[in-house]
Structure 1
């Protein structure tokens, strides 16, 4: 088991994870990153008004450096 840090990138802004989470392997890291990003993106979409585009990602690192990046991009184009 290792400690992984999940830094949030929202557009040009980054919020570093200073606590980290202990996980058993990269599959568990991938699942945790996807779950966190899904929740964050849901909250973000709720605040959209009109046509907009947005990019978010979770950048995962361990004590040795970058491990994985999970990205989410969505566009909203209203027809009316």
Structure 2
């Protein structure tokens, strides 16, 4: 079974020369470049940058307590 890209390209190749065919060819080029750019498998995987945590990061979740005093 041919891929959709192959099917679209074949369909455009069957079009008579003219503006419609030119527009379709430009759209195919744009679509292929966009897919290439967005495909996550085109770049090696990497871990996200995780920011260093601080005790004060917990303040919004502790109410009146302190991240430095566990006896609140």
- Under TM normalisation by the shorter chain, which class is it? 0.3 to 0.5
Q: Return the TM-score normalized by structure 2.
A: 0.33
TM-score normalised by structure 1 residue count? 0.31
| Higher Rg | 2
Higher helix share: 2
Q: Relative contact order: is structure 1 or structure 2 higher (C-alpha 8 Å, sep ≥ 6)?
A: 1
Structure number with higher strand proportion: 1
